[in-house]
Amino acid sequence: MNRGSVSKLTLALGLAAVVLSVATLIGLPTPVQALATAAVLVLLPGQALARLLHVADRALGALLVPVLGLATLTAVSTAMFYLTMWSWKACIVAMSVITILACLERARQEEA
């Protein structure tokens, strides 16, 4: 990666979050919907957040992708239930926003 430029992976993660969240909110055929939703709710936010941590151990970094995705989704879903504003669509929007914010922060780091 060149100093001062945003990496392709950061861009791809942010774009994928936007595209897949819109697609899952509109609705897709069942197996595709399951895969796309798993990506939007767990894998993309997990990957975006894990990239902010700069973990030295690659195995630990890979493990943190599903861990951060699941833990963040649990925290977001639980908070929404307590605030009586839960819906699965709201969760998708919230997790997409988290992914995009993480990507923006990563982009800021890459540009610095």
Partner 1 sequence: MISVAEATSRTKGRIKSRDVLCALAGAAALALAAWAASTVAVPIENDLGLVAVLPYPFWAGVVLLNVAFVAALRGDAAGPASRPVMIWLLAVLVLMLFGTAIFVTGVPRGEVAFRHLGIADALASTQDINPHIDAYFNWPGFFALLATLHRATGLDPVTVALWAPVVDMGLWLTALGVLTRHLTTNPRRRWLVLWIFCLGNWQDQDYLSPQAFGLFLYLVVVALVLGPLGAHVPQFRGFKRVELAAWWRGRTPAEAQPGRRLSALVVTLLLVVVISASHQLTPFMVLIAITALTLCGRVWPSRLPLIAGVVLALWLAYPASAYLDGHPPLADAGLQAATQANIVDRVNGTPGHLLVVQVRILLTLVLWVLALAGAVWDWRKKRLDIRVVLLAVTPLLLFPTQSYGGEMLIRVSLFALPFIAMQASSVLLPAHVGTRPSFLAAGALALCCCLLAVMTVTGRFGNARYDVFTDNEVAAVQSVQRLAPEGSAVISAAHPTPWRNQGYLDHRYRTIDDLCKSGLSAATCGPLVYDYARHNPAGGVVLLTRSSEESLVLQGDISEQGFDEFEQWLRSQDSVQLVFSNRDARAYRLAPFAVAP
Residue 17 has phi, psi (to 5 degrees) of -60, -45
Interface residue with partner 1, options 23, 33, 93, 110 (CB under 8 A): 33
Q: Which stretch binds partner 1 (CB under 8 A): 8-16, 27-35, 100-108?
A: 27-35
DSSP 8-state code for residue 29: -
CA distance 49 to 102: 6
CB of 72 to partner 1, least distance (A): 7
Binding residues for partner 1 restricted to 42-101, rule: CB under 8 A: 52-57, 59-60, 63-64, 66-68, 70-75, 77-78, 80-82, 84, 86-88, 91-92
CA distance 50 to 43: 10
23, 36 contact by CB (below 8 A): yes
The residue written with tokens 């895969």 in the block is 35
Q: List contacts with partner 1 (CB under 8 A).
A: 24, 30, 33-34, 37-38, 41, 52-57, 59-60, 63-64, 66-68, 70-75, 77-78, 80-82, 84, 86-88, 91-92
